[in-house]
């Protein structure tokens, strides 16, 4: 009862103070509806979309359009344009070897690299593997039409490990054809070149293929030693209508190389946040990635409001990463070495039937489908030294074939009228893991194994229109987060084989909220409560092996406020997230080098400790003024992030900080040409701060420094044909 009272009092108190605050640029309830993504939609979270969410839906969905992602931005990292989405923590680590740090309402916070617990899609094709791991480096920001951010119980309809979902859709080719090219240059040797081309063949009466191409190249010297990086992305989408449907072909290629500066200890950060760890320099830590994928989608109307949608995809991914694991640690027989060599083949498909028609004075949408995803990883490990030379490929230490596959049937129904929306859905998720160990030597037993995770995930939601300008909505559902293949790879205590004792985390998620719109003002206020059993946490990180355990119960409670306001040439947008995330059960953990589950050096994590990697408060405010002079626009941003714990023991934290950014944008229309320029200064006050933390790092190198004052300039030219 006390928990319930506290959950109501604190968010409501904040709501009273802040409900009139102007909200996120991602929320724009009066914008025109966007197109149905059709066969490229990964699942069927439906509703009448309107620029900043789903006005007549029962889900928490924010939509950020492509122009907002690109305007005055470097178009390199997804974190640039999503700062104003409430409930989303997305940080640039300033380390392109580890990707962005992303969590949604606390899901995904434990990831030390890549993305966990949040499902990723590009044009309906998963950018997350079946085991829930993913990356956003291949997201084609230059050619994005929009990004949809799904939060709350409805995210479970995307399958296991879907605490949230990020869905990027690229532009559609239209008449007239368009071509644009742009360049950006900034501090630390940063530059980016990109080109986009969109259009259609044929004539309006007899359209042919629609095409959208995005190609980009980026490089930087990095803000710290050992942090240089470069990346090349290419994305092509072809679509062709036919009677009653269309066919879509999507091709994506990504290549990158990045040095890895790693994190700093507290003493190192306090002394000099611009330095790089000595071990990173010694072993020349770095990562090379190459990925190619192809997707094909087909949709066909069957008459009577019925539609069939089919989608299939496949790809390959190669990763080579040099780490800074010490020679002593690699000397243990059970160590997997200091070099990761991964070759992945992946593929999948989604088949769905949909029906939509009038029923009982409203609009009824029904859908049923079956989705399957597969990955096959050839994972090798090597020592990162040879013949006295560090940072080179050495002797083999690991050779495994890891496989993961899913087979998920799902159903959804939604009925909506002007004043009421009712929806329900269910997805049964089943994931099978299998590992075949091909490196078995004395002291390193057979790590082969199998494990299956299975759950049924129901969700329900309702939306009620209180007045023409105010709506209430609520949803409730079950969530299910499976451990990744890496997290089940080893048993605790150094035993051989899969960690069959590691269970999936099960959660119950609820949300309720109000949203409104007026001529100049739109707003959204949502409270949520998430209760999880068997939370997955680090148990031990020693000798080059990480093992995981289930920690018991956790709870995440929070409030999201957002809105927007415009009066003449002035606009204000802002977002606030308040979240209290804590462990409700105590457990023991090893969070330092040399600790094992058998040497009595485990530390106690008491109930009530905060979940690391998550700020309690996060605030974004943006003010813009269209000056009327030379098409210029002045933009001022304030971003605040609260204190973040670095480990489960809460032994240290990154202090909260507030940053200020200033930009000036210009736009000129000259016939068929449009020119855009901008200049931007981030961190105006040159505030020293921690940009992100490496959660539960075994060497206590938790802190990843944020950037000081930085300058960015850009130019873009667009031509219509």
> Could you give the domains of the chain?
2-205+217-720 (2.40.170.20)
Percent residues over pLDDT 90 in the chain: 77
Longest dimension (CA), the chain: 78
The model's pTM is 0.91
Q: Quickly list H helices, 56-102.
A: 66-70
Backbone angles phi, psi at 167, to 5 degrees: -120, 115
pLDDT digits (tens, 9 = 90+) for 360-412: 999 999 999 999 999 999 999 999 999 989 999 999 999 999 999 999 999 99
Q: Do residues 23 and 565 touch, judged by C-beta distance below 8 A?
A: no
Prior bond to 176 cis, omega within 30? yes
What does the alpha-carbon distance between residue 464 and residue 462 come to, in Å, rounded to a whole number? 7
Q: Which residues contact 143 (CB under 8 A, 6 or more apart)?
A: 66, 170, 171, 196, 198, 212, 213, 214, 235
Q: Do residues 180 and 71 touch, judged by C-beta distance below 8 A?
A: no
What does the alpha-carbon distance between residue 222 and residue 514 come to, in Å, rounded to a whole number? 43
DSSP label of 158: G
Q: Which residues contact 717 (CB under 8 A, 6 or more apart)?
A: 180, 181, 182, 673, 674, 675, 676
What does the alpha-carbon distance between residue 165 and residue 530 come to, in Å, rounded to a whole number? 16
Q: Spell 570-582 as b/e; 16+ CB within 10 A means b.
A: ebbbbbbbbbbbb
Sign of CA dihedral 486, 487, 489, 493: positive
CA 521 to chain centre: 28
Q: Which residues contact 665 (CB under 8 A, 6 or more apart)?
A: 71, 72, 632, 633, 635, 676, 677, 678
Q: Do residues 303 and 348 touch, judged by C-beta distance below 8 A?
A: no
Q: Spell 21-44 as b/e; 16+ CB within 10 A means b.
A: bbbbbbbbbebeebeebbbbbbbb
Long-range contacts of 97-102 (CB under 8 A, 24+ apart): 97/229, 97/258, 97/259, 97/260, 97/285, 97/286, 97/287, 97/321, 98/260, 99/135, 99/136, 99/137, 100/136, 101/613, 101/692, 102/78, 102/136, 102/166
Q: Which of 383, 321, 332 is nearest to 543 (CA)?
A: 332
Backbone angles phi, psi at 499, to 5 degrees: -80, 80
Residue 418: how many other CB atoms lie within 10 Å: 10
Give the model's pLDDT for residue 119: 95
Q: Do residues 680 and 147 touch, judged by C-beta distance below 8 A?
A: no
The 3-state DSSP class for residue 102 equals: strand
Beta strands at 164-170 and 119-122: parallel, antiparallel or unpaired: parallel
What does the alpha-carbon distance between residue 606 and residue 598 come to, in Å, rounded to a whole number? 20
Give the model's pLDDT for residue 645: 97
Per-residue 3-state assignment (H helix, E strand, C coil) for 333-392: CCCCCCEEEEEEEEEEEEEEEEEEEEECCEEEEEEEEEEEEEEEEEEEEECCEECCEECC
Q: Which of 499, 483, 484, 546 is nearest to 695 (CA)?
A: 546
Q: Quickly list H helices, 31-82.
A: 66-70
The residues of the chain scoring below 70 in pLDDT are 1-40, 43-54, 493-496, 541-545, 591-600
Q: Do residues 93 and 100 touch, judged by C-beta distance below 8 A?
A: yes
Q: Which residues contact 126 (CB under 8 A, 6 or more apart)?
A: 42, 119, 120, 134, 313, 348, 373
Q: Across the strands, what pairs with 128?
A: 134
Q: Which residues contact 169 (CB under 8 A, 6 or more apart)?
A: 37, 40, 123, 144, 145, 146, 147, 148
Q: Which residues contact 205 (CB under 8 A, 6 or more apart)?
A: none
What does the alpha-carbon distance between residue 233 and residue 330 come to, in Å, rounded to a whole number? 35
Question: Quick one: how many helices (H) and strands (E) in the chain?
Answer: 5, 39
């Amino acid at each position: 009862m006390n928990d319930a009272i506290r959950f109501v009092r604190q968010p409501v108190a904040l709501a009273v103070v802040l409900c009139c605050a102007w909200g996120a640029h991602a929320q724009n309830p009066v914008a025109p509806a966007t197109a149905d993504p059709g066969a490229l939609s990964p699942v069927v979270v439906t509703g009448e979309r309107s620029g900043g969410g789903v006005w007549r839906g029962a889900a928490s969905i924010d939509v950020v359009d492509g122009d907002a992602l690109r305007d005055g931005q470097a178009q390199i990292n997804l974190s640039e344009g999503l700062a104003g989405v409430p409930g989303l923590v997305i940080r640039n680590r300033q380390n392109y070897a580890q990707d962005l740090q992303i969590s949604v309402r606390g899901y995904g916070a434990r990831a030390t690299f890549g993305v966990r617990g949040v499902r990723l899609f590009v044009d309906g094709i998963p950018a997350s593997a079946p085991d829930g791991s993913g990356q956003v480096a291949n997201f084609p920001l230059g050619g994005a039409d929009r990004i949809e951010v799904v939060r709350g119980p409805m995210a479970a309809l995307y399958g296991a490990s879907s605490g949230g979902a990020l869905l990027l859709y690229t532009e559609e080719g239209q008449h007239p054809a368009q071509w644009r090219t742009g360049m950006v240059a900034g501090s630390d040797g940063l530059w980016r070149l990109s080109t986009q081309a969109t259009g259609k063949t044929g004539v309006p009466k007899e359209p042919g293929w629609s095409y959208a191409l995005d190609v980009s190249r980026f490089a930087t010297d990095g803000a710290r030693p050992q942090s240089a990086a470069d990346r090349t992305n290419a994305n092509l989408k072809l679509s062709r209508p036919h009677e009653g449907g269309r066919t879509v072909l999507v091709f994506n290629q990504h290549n990158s190389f990045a040095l890895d500066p790693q994190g700093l200890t507290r003493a190192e950060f306090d002394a000099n946040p611009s330095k790089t760890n000595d071990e990173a320099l010694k072993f020349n830590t770095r990562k090379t990635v190459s990925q190619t994928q192809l997707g094909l989608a087909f949709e066909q109307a069957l008459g009577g409001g019925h539609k069939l949608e089919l989608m299939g995809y496949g790809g390959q991914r190669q990763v080579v990463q040099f780490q800074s694991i010490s020679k002593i640690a690699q000397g243990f027989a059970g160590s997997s070495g200091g070099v990761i060599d991964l070759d992945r083949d992946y593929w999948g498909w989604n088949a769905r039937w949909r029906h939509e028609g009038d029923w009982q004075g409203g609009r009824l949408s029904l859908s049923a489908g079956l989705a399957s995803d597969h990955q096959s990883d050839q994972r090798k490990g090597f020592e990162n030294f040879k013949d006295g030379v560090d940072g080179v490929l050495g002797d083999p230490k690991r050779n495994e074939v890891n496989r993961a596959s899913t087979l998920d049937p799902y159903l959804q129904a939604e009925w909506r009228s002007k004043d009421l929306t009712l929806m329900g859905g269910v997805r049964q998720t089943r994931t099978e893991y299998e590992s075949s160990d091909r490196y078995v030597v004395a002291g390193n037993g057979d790590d082969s194994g199998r494990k299956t995770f299975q759950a049924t995930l129901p969700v329900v939601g309702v939306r009620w229109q209180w007045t023409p300008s105010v709506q209430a909505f609520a949803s409730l559902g079950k969530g299910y987060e499976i451990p990744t293949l890496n997290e089940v790879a080893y048993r605790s205590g150094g035993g051989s084989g899969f960690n069959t004792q590691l269970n999936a985390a099960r959660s119950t998620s609820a949300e309720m909220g109000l949203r409104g719109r007026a001529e100049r003002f739109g707003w959204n206020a949502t409270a949520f409560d998430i209760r999880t059993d068997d939370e997955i946490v680090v148990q031990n990180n020693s000798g080059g092996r990480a093992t995981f355990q289930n920690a018991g119960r956790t709870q995440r409670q929070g409030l999201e406020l957002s809105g927007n306001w415009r009066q003449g040439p002035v606009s204000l947008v802002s977002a606030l997230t308040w979240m209290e995330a804590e462990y409700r059960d105590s457990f023991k953990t090893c969070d330092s080098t040399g600790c094992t589950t058998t040497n009595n050096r485990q530390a106690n994590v008491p109930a009530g400790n905060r979940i690391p990697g998550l700020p309690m408060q996060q605030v974004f405010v943006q003010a813009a003024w269209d000056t009327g002079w030379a098409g210029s626009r002045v933009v001022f941003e304030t971003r605040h992030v609260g204190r973040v714990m670095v480990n489960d023991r809460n032994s240290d934290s990154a202090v909260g900080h507030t940053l200020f950014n200033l930009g000036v944008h210009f736009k000129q229309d000259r016939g068929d040409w449009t020119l855009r320029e901008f200049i931007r200064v981030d961190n105006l006050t040159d505030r020293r701060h921690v940009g992100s933390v490496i959660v539960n790092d075994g060497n206590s190198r938790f802190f990843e420094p944020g950037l000081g004052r930085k300058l960015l300039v850009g130019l873009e030219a667009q031509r219509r044909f």
